[in-house]
Amino acid sequence: MPRCWLSIGSNQDREASIRGAVADLRSAFGDLVLSQVYETPAVGFTGTPFLNLVVGIETPLSVARIDAMLRAIEDALGRVRGPDRFAPRTLDIDLLTYGDAVGTCDGRTFPRDEIHRYAFVLGPLAEVAPQEVCPGGLATFAELWAVLSRGAPPLVPFPLDLSGQSVA
């Protein structure tokens, strides 16, 4: 079964949205690997800081099926989709990797470029899978983080109790 990494972020009803997402993901996929939760500034717009984390799942499901499940979880927890990509949101769940897939699969490109661009994605990913090589690359997530973290805003751990969940 492929290991998949997901990023989760929320800046509206943050704690309830993150807790709900983790509970729904556990219900859908079983055991999870969870990074710490971090509070980070909004990127691309002025707004309430986000809570972010990375979640690892193992599943035999297709990318299309996983994507549909993630959209359903977002919708159930109040996600409103608008034309602006950079806007406040209750919940954003993105499929970052699908096993070792590189390129386009079911209309999604892997690995997602957010891994290389955003500290709030790569930092938690390096925390839970430091020795894993980023698909299609030669560097581990920890090695990529060592480079990106030099110019990135600090990741501030946020004390959010995700009881009942597996934590890395």
The one catalytic residue in 94, 100, 106, 108 is 94
Active site residue 89: yes
Active site residue 13: no
Residue 94 is among the residues annotated as catalytic for this protein:
yes
Q: Which of 14, 26, 79, 112 is catalytic?
A: 79
Catalytic residue, from 92, 100, 106, 108: name it: 92
Of the listed 14, 19, 89, 112, which one is catalytic? Answer: 89
* Residue 156 Cα to chain centre, angstroms: 16
79 is catalytic: yes
By annotation, the residues acting in catalysis are 79, 89, 92, 94
